[in-house]
Structure 1
Amino acid sequence: MRSRAVREGSVGLLALVAFGIFSLGALWLRGLSLSGQSYEFRLEFGDATGLQIGTPVRYRGVNVGRVVAIRPQTNTVDVSVEVSPANLVIP
């Protein structure tokens, strides 16, 4: 009887660990950061053709962030960009 309880407990623990790893992997693939060390700023474009939420932001060929919001205005498009890590300096 005891070995059955241990086996069921082990299966439950394994399922929780697998779910946790899957959740963290999904967050990582979506580009979300658990550390929260990023900053967001707005850019204004006359034409934002081809931009989508989630589009990578590159600086000198290196991914430094992603597009988090696109807001069309009357004559321009406001684009919110999240850059991480927060200590990255872009001149």
Structure 2
Amino acid sequence: MGIFKTRQNRKFDYTPQYFKGEGNPYEIKHKFDDQRQTVGSQGGIKTKLISALNDYKNNEDKTANKRVLIILAILIFVFLFIIDFELSIFFSK
């Protein structure tokens, strides 16, 4: 009687009658398993963060990295504008 344990799904050994393809047709696979390392259960938040950063660094599409940084900068400036942050402290007179 584990209170904190998650219940495991039942597994059945069923093969469809008319399926002639490769692999298991009922296997649930994530869409990006072949492209990323961050998909799946990996343990704690530290390992998830480290693997996400490694995936971001090893990304071959550099335009996506630039796009993420630009969007992040715009969102930070919008947030600073909303909270009425004084940007003049960064500029000397």
TM-score (norm 1): 0.32
Query: Radius of gyration: which is bigger?
Result: 2
Larger fraction in strand: 1
TM-score (norm 2): 0.31
Q: Which has the higher contact order (CA 8 A, sep 6+)?
A: 1
Larger fraction in helix: 2
